[in-house]
Chain A
Amino acid sequence: MADTPLLKVEDLCTHYHLPQGTVRAVDGASLSVKPGQTVGIVGESGCGKSVMLRSILRIVPRPGRIESGRILYARADGQVTDLAALDQDGRAARAIRGAEISMIFQEPMTSLSPVHTIGDQIGEALILHRDLSRKAARAETVAALDRVAMPRAERIVDMYPHEISGGMRQRAMIAMALCCGPRLLMADEPTTALDVTTQAQILALMRRLQEEDGMAIVFVTHDLGVVAQMTEFVVIMYLGRVVETGPVRDIYYRPKHPYTHALLHSIPKLGQRRAGARLQSVKGGLPDPYLTMTGCPFAPRCPHNDGDRCEREAPALRSVGAAQEVRCHYAERLDLQGVRKAVTA
């Protein structure tokens, strides 16, 4: 049972059809999450992390559309539903959304309605999915706020988002996402907009709640330190594709993809500023999103580009080692350097 995945994304393609051309935001990405597991998704800005999560939740806004692929979700009764095949606004998709799979967004400042009270916005999910009365929903909301260690929850329910701090708003968001007891929580850079202290508190809170509830978490970030701290399994994305996946340790100690390698060595470390030691950033910029390319998408920026096969043939995602998968022709031969200690932020 523990080995059947809770969520299995297969070759997902989500494209935006714009007048200027098609943006392949997610372009054949695959991903698997086991019950209770925490999976980190890492990648540069614009690589399709948010679009991937929105695709799973079926809230991709127009003109975005899931073009192909499957999103297999195992419901509590063991039945497997292909979320990608559901009607985005249909009853079936909405029954799962917010109840079994929920999401925390990046911007606590703008992710709550400015003109509705915190209690109204959280209670709404309870009324919708658990059929509670207004009064019962309010009591549950206070309890949910208490669980996320919201100070003075009894008063906060009746407050508006602008009356509380960013950290408290993110706590409210978490309470909202968790109030219906989801089996999968997706967090899209939940701490990026917060200061470091608040960030640490929120991360600790999420870990505690996961221990208590045992839900699976998909955690999107571009902070590799946070990944090391929060997750067991990492998915590295590049240009809408998964280029490497594996357990955190393997990825950090033995990266197999040049892009992962570049990402790892672009993390600033305390005390690194010795003479001569320079911070490497990933060289080059992202290519034009409208271009369709042949060959490896990372080839133009890759120091190991052979100028031939890499330019002609797109590598497939294949297994290297026990649990690691990589999308590179030369993964075994490159012998890339990992980082010595898993960095902690």
Chain B
Amino acid sequence: MGSYIVRRVLQMILVVFIISMVAFFVIQLPPGDFVTSYVSSIAAGDRITQDAILALRQQFGLDEPLLMQYFRWITNVLQGNFGLSFQLQRTVGDLLAERLPLTLAITIPTTIFVYAVAIPIGIYSAVKQYSVGDYLFTFVGFIGLAIPNFLLGIVLIYLSTRYFGGNVGGLFSPEFENAPWSVARVLDMSRNMALAIIIIGTSGTAATMRVMRGMLLDELSQAYVETARAKGLSEWRLIMKYPVRVAVSPVLSTVGFTLPAMISGTEITATVLNLPTTGPLLLNAVKSQDMFLAASIILILSVLTVIGTFISDLLLVWADPRIRL
């Protein structure tokens, strides 16, 4: 076990290193750089001299070879300095400190929501296969999968404003936007967050529900379930103890990479919902070739993913005694 962990950690460091490099270079792939896209975004009337452009390039270090830029950036990152966002003229560290907590505050509850809703429904659907309830959940599940998150977001925003007088997107209703913290403000935020959680979590819930159902159906017909039944255990008790236990561990173990996937997978939804998470920030950074910001976010996501996968694997080893390291 110990040597396995050491081996995995070394692998993880290598993987993160490669990802950081790939991310950095891929952002540079489109022709031009931040200065080009900056210049073209400035109103056509303002003329910018070649000298000014050169000066800008020099200031940002964009005139150096790519490899040099990368090594300077990564050395700084290792010292905790993620560099500067060209566009926003603030340090990347500041921006992340602002956005990451909220991102986590939305994605962690969403992840919990996904599993807490999907697993019981999946169990019910499998045990009561072909019942009215199973058909209903299957139907709802396919709709949940088929509707893009942002569309669901728009529909829910419409419904909530139309019938419940909620606000349009954002984390706070207008009256609380700049209000000091209070119970009412927290409640208001929770309500908007609940909306975000449902929207972001629906497709994941639908998918996880189907996976859980399928896994459990496979297990329900296994011989060991019959052995348990022959012992005289009651049906629900034996189902929860045996087949569910076997079926749930691979499903649960995906928790490790669901979280980062959710963080990176919600740009569009977060944009539609106007949520100040890292998603829209990354989207913008990539669009404007704001390379340090974009590369830093991607780096953090990849670190989270790699760690998450590692945790998933450990969970699986812990849950299934058949897996030997």
**Chain A interface residues (CB < 8 Å from chain B):** 54, 57, 59, 61, 89, 94-99, 102-103, 105, 107, 110-116, 121, 124-125, 128-129, 160, 162, 173, 176
Contact = CB atoms under 8 A, between A and B. Distances in A.
Interface in B201-226: 221-224, 226
Contacts, number: 79
Interface string B28-52: 0000000000000000000000000
B128 to A, nearest CB: 11
A176 B231 contact: yes
A97 B235 contact: no
B242 A116 contact: yes
A105 B322 contact: no
B321 interface: yes
Contact of A103 (B222, B224, B230): B230
Interface size class of B (residues with CB under 8 A): 20 to 34
B115 to A, nearest CB: 19
A54 B321 CA distance: 30
B232 A115 contact: no
Nearest to B232: A98
Contacts of A176: 227, 231
A112 B227 contact: yes
Contacts of B322: 114-115, 160, 162
Contact of A94 (B227, B232, B242, B249): B232
B252 to A, nearest CB: 13
B321 A128 contact: no
Given A59-B226, A110-B223, A115 B245 contact: yes
Contacts of B226: 54, 59, 61, 105, 111
Contacts of B246: 113-115
A110 B227 CA distance: 10
- Of A61, A105, A115, A160, chain B has the most CB atoms within 10 Å of the CB of A115
Nearest to A186: B230
A102 B230 contact: yes
A103 B320 CA distance: 27
Interface in B285-325: 319-322
Given A98-B230, A124-B233, 18 more contacts: A59-B226, A96-B232, A97-B231, A97-B232, A99-B232, A105-B226, A107-B223, A111-B226, A112-B224, A112-B227, A113-B242, A115-B245, A115-B249, A115-B319, A115-B321, A116-B241, A124-B231, A129-B232
Contact of B224 (A54, A95, A110, A162): A110
B227 A105 contact: yes
Given A94-B233, A105-B223, A128-B233, A113 B228 contact: yes
A113 B224 CA distance: 5
Contacts of A61: 221, 226
B224 A114 contact: yes
A73 B234 CA distance: 21
6 contacts: A94-B234, A97-B229, A112-B227, A115-B246, A160-B321, A162-B321
A125 B230 CA distance: 10
